[in-house]
Every structure is written in C-alpha cells, then in structure tokens.
Structure 1
C-alpha cells in the first residue's frame, strides 16, 4: 500500500502488519477507537515539532500514515504544512486526498530513481485533486 505524505511516498506493505508491529505507542484498543480528530491532532503535533518529519523521521511518519489509512481508509495522500510563523500545532494545515494507484506508483518509481520533485507532486496530486 502506497501513501504520499507531503513530498515522500511511503510503501506500507501490509497495513495490519505495520499497525501490529508493536512500534506504534498505542494499544490495539486505542488504535481501534482513534477518531479522525485525534489523529489530526497527532499529525499536527508531529509536523509542528518538525516540519520536515517525513525526511527526518520516516519510520515515525510510516506509522502515522498507517494510522491514517486505518482511520480514514479513503485517504492515501496528505499535505501537512506548518506556517513559518505558527505558534501552535493547531495552525498546521492538513489536506487529504485519494490519489489513483497509478499516480502513486509513478511517484514511487520516480522517488526510487531519485527523480521525484515537489513540483511534480503538486501537478499530479494537489492541483488535480
């Protein structure tokens, strides 16, 4: 399963394996009762603390996108932006999308080849959504 988080495509593989890996600091019961609002807060807090988290802590983001995929199964892309002058995590903007698997696979291939650009992502995902 592929998921785009800002400018990085993550291959989650088997979603249930990621969720049950024991690396997510939530119990199975907490994961199963996690609401979209709670998840949005977790993502906002993480991006507020580190706007480049997808590059700096990819394993952490991999777990976040697994949670997103579980809680909001229609979403497979997220743009999370912290304004430079943000004073709190509530100011982090989130935009979800459902991107075709063909587009995600193309982005994944380009990322693997070192050719993926933010401009390409904007054109193929965010301007098309």
Structure 2
C-alpha cells in the first residue's frame, strides 16, 4: 500500500504489522478508539513541530500514515502545511486525497529513481484532486 505524505511516498507494506509495532506508542485499544479528529490533531502537532517531518523522521511518518490508512481508508495522500508565522498546531492546514494507484506507483518509481519533484506531485495529485 502506497501513501503520499507531502512530498514523500511511503510503502506501508504490511499495514497491520506497522500498527502492531512496538515503535508505535499506541496500544491496540487506543488505535481502535482513535477518531479522525484526534488523528488530525496528532498530524498537526507533528507538522507544527517539524514542517519537514517526512524527510527528518520518516519512520515516525510511516506510523502516522498507517494510522490514517486504518482510520480513514479512503485517503492515500495528505498535504500538511505549517504556514510561515504559525503560532499553534491548529494553524497547520491539512488536505486529504484519494489518488489512483497508478499515479502513486509512478510517483513511487520516480522517488526511488531520485527524480520526484514537488512540481510533479502538485500537477499529478493536488491540481488533479
């Protein structure tokens, strides 16, 4: 399973395995009770703390996108942006999308080959959504 978080495509592989990982600081019961609003809050807090989190802490983001995939299975792309001058995590903007698997696979291949650009992502995902 592929998921685009900002400008990084993540291959989630075994979603259940990621969710059961000891590295995830949530118990199975907490995951089951997690709401979409709570998850959005977690994403906003993470991006507010580090706007480039997908590059700086990819293992952390892999857990976040696994949670998103589980809680909101219709989404496979997220644009999370902290505006310049933001003073709180509530100001982080979130935009979800459901991108075709062929588009995600193409982006994944380009990322693997070192050719993926923000312009390409914007054209193929956010302008098309």
Structure 2 residue aligned with 1:101: 101
**What TM-score does the superposition give when structure 1 sets the normalisation length?**
0.99
The answer to whether structure 1 residue 49 and structure 2 residue 49 are counterparts is yes
Shift of 1:23: 1.1
Instruction: State the SS of the aligned residue for 1:95.
Output: strand
Shift of 1:58: 0.2
Q: Counterparts of 1:79 and 1:20 in 2: how far apart (Å)? A: 25
Q: Name segments (4+ residues, structure 1) moved above 6 Å.
A: none
Structure 1 residue aligned with 2:28: 28
Q: Counterparts of 2:83 and 2:33 in 1: how far apart (Å)? A: 30
Note the alpha carbon deviations across 1:18-73, whole angstroms, 9 max, x for none: 00111110000000110000000000000000000000000000000000000000
Instruction: State the SS of the aligned residue for 1:96.
Output: strand
Shift of 1:14: 1.0
Structure 2 residue aligned with 1:8: 8
Say how many residue pairs are matched.
129
Shift of 1:125: 0.1
Q: Counterparts of 1:21 and 1:29 in 2: how far apart (Å)? A: 14
The answer to whether structure 1 residue 17 and structure 2 residue 17 are counterparts is yes
Q: Counterparts of 1:120 and 1:103 in 2: how far apart (Å)? A: 11
Gaps of 5+ in 1: none
**What TM-score does the superposition give when structure 2 sets the normalisation length?**
0.99
